[in-house]
Amino acid sequence: MESELGGDCLGHKRVDPEGGSSGGNVREGKNGLHSSSMEMEDDEDWEPEPNPLDLYRECWIESYGCHGISFEDETERPPMRNTDGPIISNSCAPMSTMQVLYVKVTRITESLQWPLHVYGVIAVRDSMDHKRNFLFRRSRDQCQALASLQDAVLELTGPSRAVLLIDPHAFEIDLKVRGGESSSEDKTLSYNAFIYNNIAHWSKASYARTEVVPDQNSTIEVRFAHLAEAVEATIEVIVVSGSRDFKARFTARTASIDEDMVLLDSYGEKVDVTDNGKVVLKRRIVTVDERGKLLLGVEAAESNGVVVQNQIKLTPRSALRSQGYFELGFSRLRLTVAWSLLP
């Protein structure tokens, strides 16, 4: 399957950590997908290539459909598999993982207009169970509104556990724009897929990269990190004293990548806090280099109040938990990080 779906055959532009690009000489085909110019020298004989997501679906069904699982099935493997023991298997260790930093819309065609009311799914898979690990999932009745090109970052809610880099990975993107009361008025924002061939990039150094995914109606940009020898961190935030009526933006970053991953942004609205004081994070699974650092940050303010910033730095562990506190003046927040070796 990997040879049929290698990144180059999907024809997407890749941007490397140094800012260069790869993927060969490409041009637009009749279906809006990029194809190799060598393959299109004779336009009279040219036929549109299958959509990469359809091609990946066909290959996946051929390889795994016979095992009684559906292409749409969600991974059932939980996080924190090795946090509490009592005995950690000898097969558990730090492993290469993927950290998705953001997904955003960088271009739309004249067929779409701002604001965009977006729904659908973005997912990745790994060899743990070959099932979808959702990064973004919204129904038609729960669209995310994107106001403009300057405010077009999708609100990610996954992954639900660490994404392991064992085999080449497929990103699946199936997004629509709600057009009216009837679904017949909806339009495709992006229906596509790309492969990250991590095997070609195995090393002891972590790095980030950007994948640019062009489609007929839009261009999507995916920024993700390849973390070598990482452990899983599951984050919990609880208001232990003070006000629960505040707005906030919570972030996480690793020292090796030094780019924020947004755990929650309330966008000026009140943070959702449960009856027992738990802050409802949109994302809570992070992976961290075993010998690195995890930096957790917050920018918060009460209504019409001054914004308070705070940050704590934690050293990764192979199991159990670490704790720290955000002292905001109006609130005291306890952060608990549950560590786990992989898989």
Which tens digit of pLDDT belongs to each residue from 230-280? 999 999 999 999 999 999 999 999 999 999 999 999 999 999 999 999 999
Cβ contacts of 91 within 8 Å, gap of 6 or more: 343
pLDDT in tens, 165-223: 998 889 999 999 999 899 999 999 999 999 998 887 777 789 999 999 999 999 999 99
Specify the CATH architecture of the domain 230-340: Sandwich (2.60)
Based on the number of CB atoms within 10 Å of its own CB, is 339 exposed (0-12), middle (13-18) or buried (19 or more)?
A: buried
Domain with CATH 2.60.40 in the chain: 230-340
How far separated are the first and last CA of the chain, in Å rounded? 23
Is the dihedral angle over the CA atoms 32, 220, 230, 318 positive or is it negative? Answer: negative
Q: pTM value?
A: 0.86
Report how far residue 327's alpha carbon sits from residue 183's, in angstroms, rounded to the nearest whole number.
47
What is the per-residue pLDDT for 200? 72
Residue 57: closest CA among 247, 191, 147 = 191
Torsion angle (degrees, nearest 10) of CA 89, 94, 97, 100:
110
Q: Which residues of 271-282 are buried (b: 16+ CB within 10 A; e: fewer)?
A: bebeeeeebebe
**Per-residue pLDDT averaged across 107-135, rounded?**
96
For the chain, give the percent of residues with pLDDT over 90: 77
Question: What are the phi and psi torsion angles at 8 (to 5°)?
Answer: -65, -35
